[in-house]
């Protein structure tokens, strides 16, 4: 009995119940397709986060305020022995500017605002800061100009719009010189930022930047800053500058590392945090997909058991006219493996087609290894999950099988 | 599985086989006992059956249901092995064979014809007849040549591409006979072959069996119909797991008793 002949019998067996074969194949198709697609989505989101973070500029160090009341006048009482969390202030910023190796310091507050121009409005994130913020964040302007330090000192109502915020409000018209309402306060648009692209699930372009003093005056009040962006003179001194920032702020806030009310981050630490998060995300997505592949495999066992029972008499006939247990085993194993491999091949195709679309804002990036892996696992699933029913068929006693109605 | 028996290599069509006497009987049962179940629940289906069937013989085994004739058919067909005693087919003792070897013996030595036809659905008549040759490992061209010859022999050459459901019961049973013949087996074993057929189809089928036996095939029929048993050269009665009658009608070398009888011809249209 040649392998080609076994293969032909298996094909005929599958063709005998096309709907059932197609549905079983669908189970594997979905499993393999989702492994490839979900791993690609995880990978794609990890890459876009990494791109966004590296676009921050490697020399930038961000001091984040943690703990304490943001925007309030500071804590009023404390029963703990720890130093009370203090506000991050412009005075802290001035102190940091004295440190060695610092090129610029940009204190910043941020808040969510509604931008309105005529009938169109848009919710965006507004940052109040100094002009040095733009080079520190690697922002460039596509139209108009930045505001000046003079405008910050005199608290002028000027704003620079992110590219997405600008197009949402003005369409293709030039916004420079127009007046927009920022949560009801009129601001004059002086410039538009160049597009930066998505960072993870949020857009880095749906933003607005205005002078720190103006934003504090009109919107956030004079509480704590949200962060201070410190630009080091070169990548080589980033580590030293980070150490200095920590010791200056610890001294100013009378704190130790244990109860610090601030956090110092740079692009590389953000990057490693983000990529480990993204890795976990990818593994989780892959695991969910692997479970669906397993369920598809159990579907194969189920349907092959039904097939074997249904064809008991046929198995009896084949055995009576000389089919050995090995040949029967081979036929049913081949049927199961064919089901899973056809499903696997279609799943690879579906997965690859799926990765061409943007899914929940993420452009999937295929992990090449996931394709042979998912396909190989699907073939093994056919062998493994088809083995039990095939063995049952091969072990049937011909006299009993022939009597089966 | 690709090693054909020498008789395939010689490849004579069934009719051309020389009528030589074989040194041993085709089948030999010696004190065969078959017990189902164990202990208290044990049932003896065969209680010591001894029987030889020689080449070219045409034997009808008769008995009521529950007489043990189906068990006998399973043992003679190598679908089951005796609990006690010995069963030889062409001198091969089946008790020492495993399931794999029994399958090979069934393939090479026995051609089955069942009451329910037992063709495989969704396979053409030709593919059904080729099936035993596939399991024997023959090449496609040789399989086809032999299967066509066998279908010609049972008068169904023109329906070879029909599926079982497109054939009448009588035609399906003749396809089954062709499938039983195609490996040129030592023994054609038919279990109630006319049980599902009307009178005319039954006569046609028995006519086919008569011609096969006249051409040298050894045939064992299991039946409870006297009309069918009347075609045989030897009639054996089975009751309660024992042989109770053994009547020789005509010598194994002679033509079957009802061969070419006008009674049967007259029934045909």
Closest partner residue to A321 among B123, B135, B137, by Cβ?
Answer: B135
Strand partners, B162: none
Q: Are A229 and A137 in contact (CB under 8 A)?
A: yes
pLDDT, mean of each 10-residue run, chain A (405 residues): 85 88 92 91 84 72 70 43 69 85 88 88 89 84 87 89 88 87 90 74 78 88 86 82 86 72 78 80 88 89 90 92 93 92 94 88 87 89 90 90 85
Closest partner residue to B79 among A1, A12, A320, by Cβ?
Answer: A320
pLDDT in tens, chain B (269 residues): 444 444 443 444 444 445 555 457 999 999 999 998 888 888 889 999 999 999 999 999 999 888 888 899 999 999 988 999 999 999 999 888 899 999 999 999 999 999 999 999 889 999 999 999 999 989 999 999 999 999 999 999 999 999 999 999 999 999 999 999 999 999 999 999 998 899 999 999 999 999 999 999 999 999 988 989 999 999 999 999 999 999 999 999 888 998 877 554 444 44
CB atoms within 10 A of CB B42: 10
SS3 category, B31: strand
How far apart (Å, rounded) are the C-alpha atoms in residues B81 and B86? 9
> Does B185 fall in a domain?
yes
Chain A residues touching residue B118 (CB < 8 angstroms)? 313, 316-317, 320, 402
Residue A349's pLDDT is what?
Answer: 94
Tokens describing residue A156: 């002028």
Cα A147 to the chain's mean position, in Å? 34
User: H or E stretch including A122?
Assistant: strand A120-129
Residue B124's pLDDT is what?
Answer: 93
> Does B222 fall in a domain?
yes
Task: Please report which residue ranges of B49-89 form alpha helices under DSSP H.
Answer: 69-76
Measure B28 CA to nearest chain A CA, in Å: 20
Nearest to A305, CA basis, from A377, A385, A378, A379: A385
Measure B80 CA to nearest chain A CA, in Å: 7
At A157, phi and psi to the nearest 5? -85, 70
SS3 category, A49: helix
Half-sphere exposure of A305 (CA within 13 A, CB side): 8
Q: Helices then strands (H, E): number in chain A? A: 13, 12
> Does B48 fall in a domain?
no
Strand partners, A230: A61, A105
Nearest to B58, CA basis, from B232, B205, B198, B245: B232
Closest partner residue to B103 among A15, A16, A323, by Cβ?
Answer: A323
Which residue in B71, B99, B173, B177 has the most chain A C-beta atoms within 10 A of its own C-beta, making it the best mutation to test that interface?
A: B99
**Residue A167 CB partners (closer than 8 Å, separation 6+):** none
> Does B24 fall in a domain?
no
Subunit contact B77:A320, Cβ cutoff 8 A: yes
CATH number at residue B168: 3.40.50.300
Measure B249 CA to nearest chain A CA, in Å: 31
Q: Which residue has the tokens 């086989």?
A: B17
Subunit contact A324:B100, Cβ cutoff 8 A: yes
Chain A residues touching residue B122 (CB < 8 angstroms)? 12, 15-16
> Does B70 fall in a domain?
yes
Say what the pTM is: 0.69
For chain B, the residues whose C-beta falls within 8 A of a C-beta of chain A are 1-2, 74, 77, 79-80, 99-100, 103-104, 106-108, 112, 114, 118-123, 131-132, 134-137, 179, 183
* 3-state DSSP percent of chain A in helix, strand and coil, to 5: 55, 20, 25
How far apart (Å, rounded) are the C-alpha atoms in residues A180 and A162? 13
Residue B8's pLDDT is what?
Answer: 42
Measure B168 CA to nearest chain A CA, in Å: 20
> Does B32 fall in a domain?
no
Subunit contact A397:B80, Cβ cutoff 8 A: yes
> Does B144 fall in a domain?
yes
How far apart (Å, rounded) are the C-alpha atoms in residues B186 and B90? 8
How far apart (Å, rounded) are the C-alpha atoms in residues A134 and A4? 69
Which domain, by its residues, includes B186? 54-81+98-267
Residue B150's pLDDT is what?
Answer: 94
Residue pairs spanning A and B at CB distance below 8 A = 71
Q: Would you mind telling me the total number of residues written for chain B in this entry?
A: 269
> Does B4 fall in a domain?
no
Crossing angle (nearest 10°) for helices A325-354 and A3-15? 70
Residue B13's pLDDT is what?
Answer: 47
Subunit contact A5:B134, Cβ cutoff 8 A: yes
Number of domains in chain B: 1
């Amino acid at each position: 009995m040649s392998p080609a002949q076994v293969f032909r019998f298996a094909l005929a067996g599958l063709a005998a119940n096309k709907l059932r074969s197609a549905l079983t194949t669908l189970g594997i198709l979905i499993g393999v397709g989702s492994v490839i697609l979900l791993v690609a989505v995880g990978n794609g989101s990890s890459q876009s986060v990494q791109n966004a973070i590296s676009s921050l500029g490697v020399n930038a160090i961000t001091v984040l305020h943690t703990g304490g009341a943001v925007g309030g006048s500071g804590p009023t009482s404390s029963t703990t022995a720890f130093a009370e969390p203090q506000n991050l202030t412009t005075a802290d910023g001035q102190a940091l500017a004295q440190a060695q190796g610092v090129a610029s310091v940009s204190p910043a507050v941020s808040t969510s605002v509604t931008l309105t121009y005529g009938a169109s409005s848009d919710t965006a994130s507004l940052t109040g800061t100094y002009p040095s913020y733009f080079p520190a964040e690697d922002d460039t302007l596509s139209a108009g100009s930045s505001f000046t330090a003079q405008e910050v000192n005199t608290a002028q109502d000027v704003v620079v719009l992110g590219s997405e915020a600008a197009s949402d409000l003005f369409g293709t018209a030039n916004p420079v010189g127009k007046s927009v309402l920022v949560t009801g306060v009129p601001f004059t648009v002086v410039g538009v930022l160049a597009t930066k692209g998505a960072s993870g699930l949020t857009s880095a372009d749906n933003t607005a930047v205005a002078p720190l003093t103006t934003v504090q005056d009109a919107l956030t009040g004079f509480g704590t800053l949200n962060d201070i962006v410190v630009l080091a003179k070169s990548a080589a001194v980033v580590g030293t500058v980070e150490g200095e920032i920590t010791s200056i702020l610890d001294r100013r806030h009378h704190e130790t590392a244990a109860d610090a009310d601030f956090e110092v981050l740079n692009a590389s630490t953000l990057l490693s945090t983000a990529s480990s998060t993204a890795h976990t995300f990818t593994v989780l997505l892959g695991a969910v997909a692997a479970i669906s592949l397993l369920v598809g495999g159990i579907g194969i066992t189920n349907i092959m058991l039904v097939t074997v029972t249904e064809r008991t008499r046929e198995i009896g006939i084949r055995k009576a006219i000389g089919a050995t247990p090995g040949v029967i085993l081979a036929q049913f194993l081949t049927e199961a493996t064919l089901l899973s491999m056809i499903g696997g091949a279609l799943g690879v195709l579906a997965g690859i087609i799926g990765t061409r679309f943007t899914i929940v804002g993420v452009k999937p990036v295929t992990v090449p290894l996931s394709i042979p892996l998912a396909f190989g696992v699907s073939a093994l699933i056919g062998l493994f999950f088809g083995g039990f029913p095939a063995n049952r068929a091969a072990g049937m006693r011909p006299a009993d099988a022939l009597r089966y109605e | 599985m690709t090693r054909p028996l020498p008789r395939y290599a010689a490849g004579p069509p069934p009719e051309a086989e020389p009528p030589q006497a074989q040194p041993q009987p085709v089948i030999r049962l010696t004190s065969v006992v078959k017990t189902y179940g164990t202990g208290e629940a044990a049932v003896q289906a065969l209680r010591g059956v001894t029987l030889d069937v020689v080449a070219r013989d045409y034997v009808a085994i008769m008995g009521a249901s529950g007489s043990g004739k189906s068990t006998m058919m399973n043992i003679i067909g190598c679908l089951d092995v005796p609990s006690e005693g010995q069963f030889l087919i062409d001198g091969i003792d089946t008790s020492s064979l495993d399931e794999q070897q029994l399958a090979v013996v069934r393939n090479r030595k026995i051609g089955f014809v069942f009451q329910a036809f037992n063709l495989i659905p969704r396979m053409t008549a030709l593919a059904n007849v080729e099936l035993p040759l596939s399991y024997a490992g023959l090449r496609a061209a040789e399989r086809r040549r032999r299967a066509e010859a066998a279908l010609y022999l049972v008068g169904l050459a023109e329906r070879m591409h029909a599926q079982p459901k497109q054939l009448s019961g009588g035609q399906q049973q003749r396809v089954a006979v062709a499938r039983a013949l195609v490996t040129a087996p030592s023994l054609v074993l038919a279990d109630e072959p006319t049980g599902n057929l009307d009178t005319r189809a039954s006569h046609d089928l028995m006519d086919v069996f008569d011609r096969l036996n006249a051409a040298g095939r050894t045939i064992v029929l299991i039946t409870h119909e006297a009309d069918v048993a009347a075609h045989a050269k030897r009639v054996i009665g089975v009751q309660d797991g024992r042989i109770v009658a053994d009547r020789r009608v005509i010598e194994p070398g002679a033509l079957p008793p009802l061969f070419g009888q006008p009674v049967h011809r007259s029934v045909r249209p």
